[in-house]
Structure 1
Amino acid sequence: MSNFIEFLKIVVFGVVEGFTEWLPISSTGHLILVENIVHLNVSEEFMNVFRVVIQLGAILAVLVLYFRRLNPFDPGKKPAQKRATWHLWFKIIIACLPAAVVGILLDEVLDKYLYNPYVVAAMLIIYGVIFIAFENRNQHAEFRIKKVSQISYQTAFYIGLFQLLALIPGTSRSGATILGAMMLGCSRTAASEFTFFLGIPVMFGASLLKILHYGLAFSAMELFFMAAAMVIAFVVSMYSIQFLLGYVKKHDFKFFGYYRIVLGVIVLIYFGLTAILTK
């Protein structure tokens, strides 16, 4: 019975990860709240790996949905299309270099000093305000970059610099890169899609880093839980990605800005009261 209860908790984690990973609302912010409400009876080492590894399910959703577009070896593609696909991958790699270098150097420092609910809450609120302010200012703006293929190497690198902001928990990797891409002239759709693609090497790399650091010396049940959460995150991400693309064709990101502010306040109140009541 206890294993079944733990499995139900894992389902919650997988659903939350899959739904929030690709939206600009911080999956970390949601997971840190879920962790404290839905307690998993596992080791701290398991949780450190679990938080990152379940993202592999979300990555797989991008690879499945965009397989043909991201596959430079597709026999159905013409030579020009294959070259364009290679250029896309080179832009993705260039955009990921800043986060890869800084992330490797500061991984443990960031986890130790910044992975806490108060930092997460602050980032949720701050970037919520920025999203609302940006959208209000650019309500009728005409973005010059309509498609991902129009993103230059230079613009890709600058978007990668914005991705550095997401190393602070609660910022949201999707939120930072979408906001940065839009500031650089990308349409909401182009910014969202390029963000999806950037997640592939970044999240694979983050997962590999955690696995190399902590290993996978877990029980069979813990490994099953990890795999189950990844599968659930994959399925939910398939819908989450399509939802966001459909949403931004008709709406701006202000709703997500307000959502972030509300969630940030909830996190502050919840953990503030918890700290007071447990003294």
Structure 2
Amino acid sequence: MDAVLLVKATIMGIVEGLTEFLPVSSTGHLILTGALLHFDDDKAKVFDIAIQTGAILAVILVYWQKIRSTIVSLPTDRQAQRFAINVLVAFFPAVVLGLLFGKVIKEHLFTPWVVATTFILGGFVILWAEGRRHPPVRINSVDEMRWTDALKVGLVQCLALVPGTSRSGATIIGGMLLGLSRKAATEFSFYLAIPTLIGAGVYSLYKERASLGAGDVPLFAVGFVFSFLSAWLCVRWLLRYISSHDFKPFAWYRIVFGLVVLATAFTGLVDWRE
């Protein structure tokens, strides 16, 4: 396989891992990075979705004790059953809307222009959410959530079908506005990512299986490995960060980055190819 292509896969994997669980939109960053690297054909779009499973493996390892105990006690423990049901309930809306509108969204909204715009809008939403008086915290742990809380978070997650919105940003900020503590909202966002991103990756690979071959394995493997490594570092850092910080720095990053993309596009300084 072409060494240059493997370098591109490495860069894309690192970008995916570092941005998947931060409120900055991994999909948006992959679209922009792919445009710069000229790594944005149909196979690259499948690659972008597939390597998310590497980032999810990092979350599974970080939370392995909780996940394992839930699976083991699922047949008899009511709390474990409620937790599993909550994750499935939150997962369901994105499945339905993704199957109904996923193709249209990819055809018309996966562009640098849309990403830059949603970067900016999402940044202002985070600033507004962090600046307003939050409702009283009702839920300090994911185990305290009801299925109605999970459904609301799942509906908010659907906003992330628009690239640049940020799945983690929507679920974390949305969860906080719904009465979850910052820690509970962040952790539930991690847990919800497991079925959401694995499902998206498997579905994308299955749907495009005819266009993929054995020669693509090294490309996907490199992206997977670097996505896993960078996500593992990022998740561990984020858990420490949220204990004493808010998300305003990410909001300003989104706004500035979005404005830079729009400015360089209008001036012709960067050719953000669609």
Which residue type is aligned with residue 128 of structure 2?
A
CA distance 1:218–1:248, change in 2 (3 Å): same
Q: State the SS of the aligned residue for 1:252.
A: coil
Instruction: Provide the rounded CA distance (Å) in 1 between the counterparts of 2:253 and 2:67.
Output: 32
CA distance 1:109–1:259, change in 2 (3 Å): same
Match of residue 226, structure 2, among 222, 225, 232: 232
Per-residue deviation, 1:97: 0.9
- The residue correspondences of 1:254-265 to structure 2 (distance < 5 A) are 254-265=248-259
Instruction: Provide the rounded CA distance (Å) in 2 between the counterparts of 1:217 and 1:33.
Output: 23
Instruction: Provide the rounded CA distance (Å) in 2 between the counterparts of 1:234 and 1:25.
Output: 18
Q: Which runs of 5+ in 2 are unaligned?
A: none
Counterpart in the other structure of 2:167: 173
RMSD over equivalenced CA pairs, Å: 2.2
Q: State the SS of the aligned residue for 2:2.
A: helix
Deviates more, 1:162-171 or 1:264-273: 264-273
Residues 181-231 of structure 1: per-residue CA shift (max 9 Å, x gap): 001011111111100111111111211221232115434342211111111
Q: 1:148 and 2:145 equivalent?
A: no
Match of residue 66, structure 2, among 65, 69, 72: 69
Instruction: Provide the rounded CA distance (Å) in 2 between the counterparts of 1:275 and 1:114.
Output: 22
Counterpart in the other structure of 2:119: 124
Q: 1:209 and 2:203 equivalent?
A: yes
Report the TM-score when normalising by structure 1: 0.90
Counterpart in the other structure of 1:39: 38
CA distance 1:219–1:79, change in 2 (3 Å): closer
CA distance 1:46–1:184, change in 2 (3 Å): same
Counterpart in the other structure of 2:128: 133
Per-residue deviation, 1:79: 8.6
Q: State the SS of the aligned residue for 1:86.
A: helix
CA distance 1:209–1:251, change in 2 (3 Å): same
Counterpart in the other structure of 2:13: 14
Equivalent residues of 2:264, 2:270 under 8 A apart: no
Q: Which runs of 5+ in 1 are unaligned?
A: none
CA distance 1:242–1:138, change in 2 (3 Å): farther
Equivalent residues of 1:18, 1:237 under 8 A apart: yes
Counterpart in the other structure of 1:51: 48
- The residue correspondences of 1:86-125 to structure 2 (distance < 5 A) are 86-125=81-120
Residues 224-259 of structure 1: per-residue CA shift (max 9 Å, x gap): 111111111111111111111111110011111111
Identity, % of aligned positions: 38
